[in-house]
Amino acid sequence: MVSTTARYEFGDFTLDVGQQRLSRRETGETIPLTGKVFDTLVYLVERAEQTLDRDVLLGAIWPGVIVEENSLSQNISTLRQALGEVRGENRYILTIPRKGYRFVAKVRQLDELVAAIASDVPATSQPVRAPSRW
Protein backbone atom coordinates (compact mmCIF):
# COMPACT_ATOMS: atom_id res chain seq x y z
CA MET A 1 0.00 0.00 0.00
CA VAL A 2 2.68 2.54 0.93
CA SER A 3 6.36 3.12 0.33
CA THR A 4 8.22 1.70 3.31
CA THR A 5 10.95 4.34 3.40
CA ALA A 6 9.11 7.52 2.46
CA ARG A 7 9.35 10.56 4.73
CA TYR A 8 7.13 13.62 4.47
CA GLU A 9 6.87 17.05 6.00
CA PHE A 10 3.67 19.05 6.31
CA GLY A 11 2.71 21.86 8.64
CA ASP A 12 4.45 21.30 11.97
CA PHE A 13 4.94 17.57 11.41
CA THR A 14 7.24 14.92 9.96
CA LEU A 15 5.75 11.60 8.88
CA ASP A 16 8.19 8.70 8.65
CA VAL A 17 6.47 5.77 6.96
CA GLY A 18 9.29 3.29 7.54
CA GLN A 19 9.45 4.02 11.26
CA GLN A 20 5.64 4.32 11.43
CA ARG A 21 6.10 7.60 13.24
CA LEU A 22 4.43 10.99 13.23
CA SER A 23 6.44 13.63 15.07
CA ARG A 24 6.59 17.37 15.63
CA ARG A 25 9.32 18.91 13.50
CA GLU A 26 10.65 21.37 16.07
CA THR A 27 10.71 19.13 19.14
CA GLY A 28 10.84 15.62 17.67
CA GLU A 29 7.98 14.65 19.99
CA THR A 30 6.25 11.50 18.73
CA ILE A 31 2.49 11.73 18.26
CA PRO A 32 1.02 8.31 19.14
CA LEU A 33 -1.31 6.86 16.50
CA THR A 34 -2.87 3.40 16.23
CA GLY A 35 -2.05 1.32 13.14
CA LYS A 36 -5.20 2.06 11.13
CA VAL A 37 -5.13 5.76 12.02
CA PHE A 38 -1.49 5.90 10.88
CA ASP A 39 -2.41 4.06 7.65
CA THR A 40 -5.20 6.58 7.06
CA LEU A 41 -2.78 9.48 7.47
CA VAL A 42 -0.22 7.94 5.11
CA TYR A 43 -2.88 7.28 2.47
CA LEU A 44 -4.14 10.87 2.69
CA VAL A 45 -0.64 12.42 2.69
CA GLU A 46 0.53 10.36 -0.28
CA ARG A 47 -2.50 11.62 -2.21
CA ALA A 48 -2.46 15.21 -0.97
CA GLU A 49 -4.76 17.60 -2.83
CA GLN A 50 -6.82 14.69 -4.24
CA THR A 51 -10.41 14.26 -3.16
CA LEU A 52 -10.65 10.70 -1.91
CA ASP A 53 -14.00 8.97 -1.95
CA ARG A 54 -15.01 7.31 1.33
CA ASP A 55 -15.37 3.91 -0.36
CA VAL A 56 -11.87 4.19 -1.82
CA LEU A 57 -10.46 5.05 1.60
CA LEU A 58 -12.35 2.21 3.28
CA GLY A 59 -11.02 -0.27 0.71
CA ALA A 60 -7.46 1.03 1.05
CA ILE A 61 -7.31 1.14 4.84
CA TRP A 62 -9.28 -2.08 5.45
CA PRO A 63 -8.63 -4.17 2.32
CA GLY A 64 -10.93 -7.16 2.00
CA VAL A 65 -12.76 -6.31 5.23
CA ILE A 66 -16.24 -4.88 5.50
CA VAL A 67 -16.27 -2.04 8.01
CA GLU A 68 -18.75 0.68 8.78
CA GLU A 69 -18.18 4.17 7.41
CA ASN A 70 -18.08 5.31 11.03
CA SER A 71 -14.68 3.61 11.40
CA LEU A 72 -13.25 5.95 8.78
CA SER A 73 -14.98 8.96 10.34
CA GLN A 74 -13.45 8.03 13.70
CA ASN A 75 -9.97 7.73 12.15
CA ILE A 76 -10.34 11.18 10.57
CA SER A 77 -11.53 12.65 13.86
CA THR A 78 -8.58 11.09 15.71
CA LEU A 79 -6.15 12.47 13.09
CA ARG A 80 -7.62 15.95 13.38
CA GLN A 81 -7.13 15.84 17.15
CA ALA A 82 -3.57 14.53 16.83
CA LEU A 83 -2.72 17.29 14.33
CA GLY A 84 -4.23 19.94 16.58
CA GLU A 85 -7.06 20.96 14.27
CA VAL A 86 -10.05 22.65 15.82
CA ARG A 87 -13.58 22.23 14.49
CA GLY A 88 -13.99 23.88 11.08
CA GLU A 89 -10.31 24.81 10.75
CA ASN A 90 -9.28 22.39 7.95
CA ARG A 91 -5.54 23.11 8.07
CA TYR A 92 -4.83 19.49 7.19
CA ILE A 93 -7.97 17.51 6.35
CA LEU A 94 -10.95 18.89 4.48
CA THR A 95 -14.27 17.07 4.49
CA ILE A 96 -15.98 17.08 1.09
CA PRO A 97 -19.69 16.69 1.95
CA ARG A 98 -21.31 13.47 0.66
CA LYS A 99 -18.01 12.58 -1.07
CA GLY A 100 -14.95 12.02 1.10
CA TYR A 101 -11.82 13.79 2.29
CA ARG A 102 -8.86 15.76 0.96
CA PHE A 103 -5.49 16.37 2.64
CA VAL A 104 -4.98 20.08 2.01
CA ALA A 105 -1.69 20.93 3.74
CA LYS A 106 1.37 21.39 1.54
CA VAL A 107 3.35 18.15 1.62
CA ARG A 108 7.06 17.78 0.89
CA GLN A 109 8.58 14.34 0.42
CA LEU A 110 11.96 14.49 2.15
CA ASP A 111 13.51 11.70 0.10
CA GLU A 112 12.79 13.70 -3.07
CA LEU A 113 14.50 16.74 -1.55
CA VAL A 114 17.61 14.73 -0.75
CA ALA A 115 17.65 13.24 -4.26
CA ALA A 116 17.21 16.69 -5.84
CA ILE A 117 20.05 18.14 -3.79
CA ALA A 118 22.30 15.18 -4.63
CA SER A 119 21.55 15.50 -8.36
CA ASP A 120 22.58 19.18 -8.29
CA VAL A 121 26.06 18.32 -7.03
CA PRO A 122 28.40 18.05 -10.03
CA ALA A 123 30.27 14.80 -10.32
CA THR A 124 34.00 15.05 -10.92
CA SER A 125 35.42 13.05 -13.77
CA GLN A 126 38.75 12.56 -12.08
CA PRO A 127 39.33 11.33 -8.55
CA VAL A 128 40.61 13.98 -6.16
CA ARG A 129 44.25 13.37 -5.29
CA ALA A 130 46.18 14.65 -2.34
CA PRO A 131 48.95 17.07 -3.28
CA SER A 132 52.27 15.31 -3.78
CA ARG A 133 55.13 16.17 -1.47
CA TRP A 134 58.56 16.01 -2.92
Count how many domains the chain has: 1
**16 assigned to some structural domain:** yes
Of 81, 57, 82, the C-alpha closest to 70 is: 57
**119 assigned to some structural domain:** no
Per-residue confidence (pLDDT) for residue 112, from 0 to 100: 56
**123 assigned to some structural domain:** no
**125 assigned to some structural domain:** no
Regions of the chain short of the pLDDT cut 50: 1-3, 113-121, 123-134
The pair phi, psi for residue 98, each rounded to 5°, is: 60, 15
Per-residue confidence (pLDDT) for residue 4, from 0 to 100: 65
For residue 85, the enclosing domain spans 7-111
Could you give the residue ranges of the DSSP H alpha helices within the chain? 35-46, 54-61, 69-82, 110-120
CATH code for position 98: 1.10.10.10
Q: What interhelical angle do 54-61 and 69-82 show, nearest 10?
A: 80
Report pLDDT digits (tens) over 96-105: 999 999 999 9
**37 assigned to some structural domain:** yes
**132 assigned to some structural domain:** no
**103 assigned to some structural domain:** yes
**44 assigned to some structural domain:** yes
